[in-house]
Amino acid sequence: MGKHNNDRLQGTLDLLILKALARSEALHGYGIAQVIRAWSDDMLRIEDGSLYPALHRMTEERWLKAEWGVTDTNRKARFYSITAAGRKQLAAEEKNWAHLTDAVARFLRFA
Amino acid sequence: MSFWSRFKNAVRPDALDVELQNEVETHIALIEADEIKRGASPEAARAYARQRFGNTMVHREVTRDRDLFAWVEQFVQDARFSIRQLARVPGFTLTTVLLLALGIGVNTAIFTLLNSVVLHSLPLPDADRLLVLLERMPGGGDSPPSWLDQKDFREQNHVLESLAAFSYGSSMLLRNGNETNRVVAGYVTPDYFSTMGVKPVAGRLFETSEAKAGSDAVVLVREDYWRTALNGDPAILGKQLEVNGRKCEVIGMLPESFRFPSDTAVVWAPLVPKPNEASNRGWHGFPLVGRLKPGVSMDQARTERSGSMKNLTQ
């Protein structure tokens, strides 16, 4: 199957996850969801479940590293952390994002 | 075998899905714990966790095989369409669907069934006696039963004259000669067609013996698909098509009007659960369709099932 048509949206989710992990220790999925919610003042309504396809894909891409650990409440969880390749990807995604929003902003000014 | 295990990631170790399940369960437990800490009741915490996490089944499937993404979206659209259609037929959910537990979010599979059977008025005998069986999960919400629960249903059942399992409509790669197409398929147990009351327009249906790994290389095609995509090949019966890279014999043809589990399903193959799915009561992957015995009302059936459900675990 070819690239999915919501690549942009997917890229945005990647960006959020990478950013969340770039600023902290290894986090489990719920931790990442909490960080995204907190930073976006709950403006970004992402179903928590949709993080997992992204996390697994990004781990395969080796942007993230995943390790099993135990939560405070003694539950098994996979903890994700960002790799060097992930940081590179983050820089690229941030740049993309800036370009995109810049282009849209310019369009809105002149259209 | 359920649909997600049939696709390209079938090569992945099964442990992967168990791990993912652990991950998802932990996630939901953490949301609940935080909510309770904030003073929510356990019920409210559970409801919030479900809503916030989204559809766990779908997410698990998607994570397991991301290429299913497009299909899941299509399915959601189909379901939305069905819901809209459903809204035009007032009151009929009461008479045509048995929900073992009608939770907050009604499972989309039900709508698919109704869409197909009722709204498109499939020419099936006594379609009003057909129903979908789901389970209420301990935490609330509905889920398809596990394979073992399905077996228990069969043994304990007094209200259904027949019962069959199916997978949600899923896609498969179908190769005929040099041409490969992605088509929507239904994986079903052999008693599926007799339960629905559908007869082949040519050839035969699945034998019980074909619901076993190794002897399940057989498919049925929908008549209009044969006419168009398969060029109306007069020698189609007995012909080998390549299904997800595996040679399968076309043994029969179903009427164009038969549209279940999905409106777009054009191929059917035997449903063979993998050993770990067949033995795991936590693997809720098998929606059931049943046909009420004559003279048994939906209400009677509902009472009956909620009684015997108590014996089942998870």
Q: DSSP assignment of chain A, as one string? A: ----TTHHHHHHHHHHHHHHHHTSS-EEHHHHHHHHHHHTTT-S---GGGHHHHHHHHHHTTSEEEEEEE-TTS-EEEEEEE-HHHHHHHHHHHHHHHHHHHHHHHHHHH-
Higher pLDDT, B236 or B126: B236
Q: For residues B115 and B13, which has the higher predicted lDDT (pLDDT)?
A: B13
A75 → closest Cβ in B29, B59, B70: B29
Which of B22, B56, B66 lies closest to A76 in CB terms? B22
Q: Report the chain B residue with the minimal C-alpha distance to residue A32.
A: B27
Q: How far is CA B50 from CA A66, B19, B60, B175, B308, in A?
A: 24, 19, 14, 40, 26
On whether any CB of chain A is under 8 Å from the CB of B266, the answer is no
pLDDT over 60 at B8, yes or no = no
CA-to-CA distance for A41 and B105, rounded, in angstroms? 27
Asked if residue B248 has pLDDT above 90, the reply is yes
Mean pLDDT for B209-223 is 95
What percent of chain B has a predicted confidence (pLDDT) above 90?
22
Q: In chain B, which among 6-65 make CB contacts under 8 A with chain A?
A: 19-20, 22-27, 29-31, 33, 52-56, 58-60, 62-63
Q: Higher model confidence: residue B276 or residue B222?
A: B222
The residue written with tokens 């589990």 in the block is B261
In A, minimum Cα distance to B63 occurs at A53
Average pLDDT over residues B82-101: 35
Question: Per-residue confidence at B15, pLDDT binned at 50, 70, 90?
Answer: very low
Whether the predicted pLDDT of B64 surpasses 60: no
Q: What is the value of ipTM here, to two decimals?
A: 0.79
What was the pLDDT predicted at B135?
Answer: 66
To which residue do tokens 């399968």 refer?
Answer: B248
Q: Is the CB of residue B70 less than 8 Å away from at least one CB of chain A?
A: yes
Q: Residue B63: pLDDT above 80? A: no
Segment B71-97 shows an average pLDDT of: 38
Question: Measured between alpha carbons, how far is residue B126 from residues A37, A59, B186, B189, B298 in Å?
Answer: 51, 51, 22, 20, 14
Give the residue-averaged pLDDT of A12-36: 90
pLDDT the model gives residue A111:
56
pLDDT for B121 beyond 60 = no
User: What pLDDT band is residue B170 in, cutting at 50, 70 and 90?
Assistant: low
Residue among A47, A71, A78 minimizing CB distance to B53: A47
User: Cβ B54–A1 below 8 Å, yes or no?
Assistant: no
Mean pLDDT computed over every residue of chain B: 70
Pick the more confident residue, B223 or B139. B223
The average pLDDT across B181-194 equals: 88
* Chain A residues lying within 8 Å of B70, measured CB to CB: 1, 4
pLDDT at B146: 78
Instruction: Give the tens place of pLDDT for each residue, A33-79.
Output: 988 888 776 667 677 888 888 898 899 889 999 998 888 777 888 99
Sign for the CA dihedral angle at B90, B94, B97, B101 comes to positive
- The stretch B285-300 carries a mean pLDDT of 78
| Contacts with B, A 19-78, CB within 8 Å | 28-30, 33, 47-50, 52-53, 56-57, 71, 73, 75-78
Q: Are B160 and B129 in contact (CB under 8 A)?
A: no
What integer is the mean pLDDT of B15-27? 73
Choice among A86-100, B91-105, B237-251 with the minimum mean pLDDT: B91-105
pLDDT of res. B65: 45
A3 at B interface, C-beta within 8 A? no
State the pLDDT at residue B304.
57
Which residues on B lie below 8 Å from A48 (Cβ)?
27, 31, 52-54
Residue B23 to residue A49, Cβ atoms within 8 A: no
**What pLDDT score was predicted for residue B1?**
33
> Which of A91-100, B84-93, B144-153, B248-257 has the least mean pLDDT?
B84-93
Q: Which two tokens stand for residue B23?
A: 């991950």
Distance, CA of A93 to CA of A77 (rounded, Å): 27
Give me A27's structure tokens: 């986090």
Q: What is the overall mean pLDDT for chain A? A: 82
Average pLDDT rounded to a whole number, residues B56-79? 45
Would you state the structure tokens that stand for residue B279, as one six-digit string? 């033995």
Q: Which residues contact A11 (CB under 8 A, 6 or more apart)?
A: A93, A96
* Position B156, amino acid: Q
Interface contact B58-A71, CB threshold 8 A:
no
- Residues in A closer than 8 angstroms to B63, CB to CB, are 52-53, 56
Average pLDDT of span B154-172 = 77
Q: Give how far A13 is from chain B: nearest CA, Å.
A: 15
Task: Quote the pLDDT of residue B132.
Answer: 73
pLDDT for residue B205 is more than 80: yes
Does the beta-carbon distance from A56 to B67 stay under 8 Å? no
- Tell me if A53 and B27 make a contact (CB, 8 A cut-off): no
Q: pTM (2 decimals)?
A: 0.50
B66 band by pLDDT with thresholds 50, 70 and 90 = very low
Q: Which two tokens stand for residue B295?
A: 């003279």
pLDDT of residue A42: 63
pLDDT surpassing 50 at residue B182: yes
Residues of A in contact with B53 (CB under 8 A): 47-49
Rounded CA separation B149/B82 (Å): 28
Considering only the beta carbons, identify the residue of A28, A48, A56 that sits closest to B53: A48
What's the rounded Cα separation, in Å, for the pair B199 and B219? 15
Q: Return the HEC string of chain B.
A: CCHHHCCHHHHCCCHHHHHHHHHHHHHHHHHHHHHHHCCCCHHHHHHHHHHHHCCHHHHHHHHHCHHHHHHHHHHHHHHHHHHHHHHCCCCHHHHHCCCCCCCCCCCHHHHHHHHHHHHCCCCCCCHHHEEEECEECCCCCEECCCHHHHHHHHHHCCCEEEEEEECCCEEEEEEECCEEEEEEEEEECCCHHHHHCCCCCEECCCCHHHCCCCCCCEEEEEHHHHHHCCCCCCCCCCCEEEECCEEEEEEEEECCCCCCCCCCEEEEEECCCCHHHHCCCCCCCCCEEEEECCCCCHHHHHHHHHHHHCCCCC
